[in-house]
Amino acid sequence: MSKDIFKVIERPYLTEKVSGLIQDVNQYAFKVNPKSSKLEIKKAIESFFSVRVEDVNVVKVKGKVKRSRYRLKKRADWKKAYVKLAEGDSIDVGIEANG
């Protein structure tokens, strides 16, 4: 792996949809470096959190165009990774499971 794990994983991505995925299918979402590959993401998650990763799905999110008073501005494009962990493994991201 050519990149440092702190340059691959930027931060966890938490929404209502992701919290449902965490409880239902043990799948987490992370905002990652747009130049990182699935294999780099898998290695970084496994080494940083000491878990086993079964699958990685990647989504390229296009930045929104926002209207300013004088011109249109475009937010940066970014990459989101959905990481499915092996059964029995978990990552503490600050969500309590209810049931």
Domain contains 99: no
The whole-number pLDDT of residue 97 equals 53
Domain contains 40: yes
Domain contains 96: no
Q: Is the pLDDT of residue 3 over 80?
A: no
- pTM for the full predicted model: 0.85
Domain contains 45: yes
* Token couple for 91: 């990552």
What are 38-90's pLDDT values in tens digits?
Answer: 999 999 999 999 999 999 999 999 999 999 999 999 999 999 999 999 999 99
- What is the tally of structural domains in the chain? 1
Q: Is the pLDDT of residue 1 over 70?
A: no
CATH code of 70's domain: 3.30.70.330
Q: Are 25 and 61 in contact (CB under 8 A)?
A: no
Residue 38's domain comprises 5-85
CA distance 17 to 82: 12
* Token couple for 32: 């990652």
Domain contains 97: no
CA distance 99 to 61: 32
If pLDDT is split at 50, 70 and 90, which confidence band does 98 have? low
